[in-house]
Chain A
Amino acid sequence: MSFIFNTDFFFSILRITAPIIFATLAAVISEKGGISNIGLEGTMMMSALFGSLFSYYSGSWIMGVLAAILTGMIVSVVMAFFSFNLETDIILSGTAVNLIGGGGTIFLVRIITGLTEGTQMTSTNSLISGKLQVPNIHIPIIKNIPVLGDILSGHSLLTYTAFLLVYLVWILLYKTPLGLKIRSVGENPDAAKSVGVSVIKMQYTVMILAGALSGLGGAYMSMSYARGFSQDMVAGRGFIALAAQAMGGGEPLGSMLSALVFGTAQALAVKASAIGVDSNLVSPIPYVVTIIGLTIFALNARKKEKVTNKEIKNTMEVIE
């Protein structure tokens, strides 16, 4: 057991969970604004590509991260334009974004870099050197604490950003006027409209925020998690984020905890393959956990609903 549950393992959980948290927060904001944002996966792919390319061409990882954020925002605005102005069903415009994120990124990487490596050029790995990656941070004091220091210190700057953003998104949604507007549009657009909130403006705001967050997730994938962009590198994290959002009841903190569940499942999968268990058997664990988690969550919600209904009934009887 000590072989599995050592400090490396807990370190890897945080590292694996961070990109899922970015996407999950994007899903949380989207859903609060009443938008089913299935395009997170493709948005992250596009951001991963342009983040990596910009860091290479500018020679600076900061430019790369900014480019990834901007890419995420642009892709989301285009998706918003089709969904809200041209009234394409959001599931379909999201799927279109995912199509472009899947094959379109490969097309773009080939024509932009001119790298071919035969016909199978699918990675920018050869272009990227260590200094084009987002740096790792060793936190003073904490890094010297035994065990805890090994787990918490030495992560990518973006990993810390991800966990910090959980708090910031919560502040945004619950402590600012903008958050109130977003939630009101998500809960009841007609009511929001009647008190003078511009629904479409809020929907665009939500999509831009979600785009920036998934842009960070994409940057994490190509500039921290892996070195450079490669084919299908997001590997369903955008979809897992939707599940984490649902399992976390749509709240930032709960959704972060769900994301950690997936991160742990995935870290376990990595460990299991390392000790010789067929990776085909451990890789699906996060996806299975998702379905089971969603089911348990829904069952609990239903039970609570029943209890509340009963309470209401009892109270009514008492009043009568």
Chain B
Amino acid sequence: MSKRNSLLFNVVRSLAAIAIALIVATFLVFFSSTSTGFLEKLADTAEALEALLVRPFIKANGTFNSKAFLDVLASMIPIMFTGLATTVMFSANQFNLGSEGGIMLGAFIAALSAIYLPLPTIILPIVSILLGSLAAMLVLLIPATLKAKLNISEMVNSLMLNYIIMYLINFVLTSYVADRSKGQLVTHQIQKHAALPQLVGGGSKLSVGFIIGLIAVILVTIFMYRTRWGYNIRMIGKNQEFARYSGINVAFYIILAQAIGGILAGMGGAVEMLGRYNAYDWKALPGYGWTGITVAILANNNPAFVPFAAFFMSFLGKGTELMSTYSNVPNQLLNIIQAIIFLFFAANNFLSRYRQRLVVKSAEEEMASELGGK
């Protein structure tokens, strides 16, 4: 298939997947309307969809909704990191789902070091982020090593680890580091000079973390497509046996991919913690890991596309949040939309007849140009 037609196919396919998800969402919103008449229900639906799709950009009075838009950008930060982590691990065909626990651990460890370490400005946030990344990496090395050495499913082990991490953090939080003077379960305040600077004032929480995320995107893209290590990781993902016979140390790269995934997930947690919070108070797994998987799928496992996919998911997240405020549609609708997009995006055979037609057309065009050339 020619490059132009291949691009056309991918764009049409993506739009179709998103359209199907929105159509299903429309039906669900329609049925969730509490109004009685058909027309009233329809009006409710229109209002809800407007909140979902338009409000993150434009206010009800027609002006640019800068606050909501900055929120969208800010909430991209953690899912860019988990998205990157997932692209690297999935590229090696490692279905490690531990970025969920990894990001929680990264946030916790970074918070602890930002609270207790007596380090000066600039150094403190950097050390905190590195410690958070390191902690998550060490944990993800467990399923990675067990997979590489004993061929135990990294998927099952990483899922188990997510729960273990959550409970152990809660244990340490309640027993050792909680601020007893507070009514709810929260650590002491993070030292002021550990906080990441904000890019925009006014409480939008769009911190320097956004820039760090974009730098990570560039570095991971270069790593995956311009270095031998990245090439080998992708090779293992494409055909592990072939990689083995061509002399690649498969076990090493299986571990490497997941170690990098751990570093990225932990860094995401650390950056999110220092950029957004004054103290650590997460009690449950944050869900960023699962969104990160959706991001990786939308980005087709290509790190360069991660920011766009993260923007889209973040936009949907804000949209459903606004929708639940303005029109009483439960914001868990997001999970359903996400699942549907997810299913179609990852479906190899979705619109395969259309692809077939484009392949035939490309071939015909090629033949025509060859004949014309003669």
Contact = CB atoms under 8 A, between A and B. Distances in A.
B316 to A, nearest CB: 13
A302 B151 CA distance: 10
B152 A96 contact: no
A96 B157 CA distance: 19
Contacts of A298: 146, 150-152
Interface in A73-104: 82, 85-89, 91-93, 95-97, 99-100, 102-104
B163 interface: yes
B36 to A, nearest CB: 13
Nearest to B165: A284
A236 interface: yes
A284 B95 contact: no
A146 to B, nearest CB: 38
A89 B293 CA distance: 13
B164 A92 contact: no
Contacts of A294: 146, 152-153, 156-157
Interface string B161-179: 1011001101100110000
A100 B24 CA distance: 13
Contacts of A102: 335
Given A92-B342, A104-B332, A107-B335, A242 B153 contact: yes
Given A86-B349, A99-B290, A280-B174, A92 B163 contact: no
Contacts of B330: 106-107, 110-111
Interface in B315-350: 324, 330, 332-336, 338-340, 342-344, 346-350
Interface stretch (B26-34, B219-227, B244-252, B273-281): B26-34
B347 A88 contact: yes
A240 B336 CA distance: 24
**Most chain B CB neighbours (cut-off 10 Å) among A111, A281, A295:** A111
Contact of A91 (B95, B324, B332): B95
Query: By DSSP majority rule, is chain B's interface helix, strand, loop, or mixed?
Result: helix
Given A295-B152, A299-B150, A103 B161 contact: no
Interface stretch (A153-161, A199-207, A251-259, A285-293): A285-293
Contact of B161 (A89, A100, A291): A291
A95 B334 CA distance: 15
B350 A280 contact: no
B58 interface: no
Nearest to B146: A295
Given A103-B334, A243-B156, A280 B342 contact: no
B142 interface: yes
Given A100-B336, A242-B153, A287-B160, 15 more contacts: A82-B343, A88-B344, A92-B293, A92-B297, A96-B339, A96-B340, A96-B342, A103-B332, A103-B335, A278-B175, A280-B171, A287-B161, A287-B164, A291-B161, A294-B156
18 contacts: A82-B343, A86-B348, A87-B347, A87-B349, A92-B297, A93-B346, A95-B290, A99-B290, A104-B336, A107-B336, A114-B34, A239-B159, A242-B159, A278-B175, A287-B161, A298-B146, A298-B150, A302-B150
**Which 3 residue pairs are nearest across A and B when measured between Cβ atoms?**
A103-B335, A103-B332, A86-B347
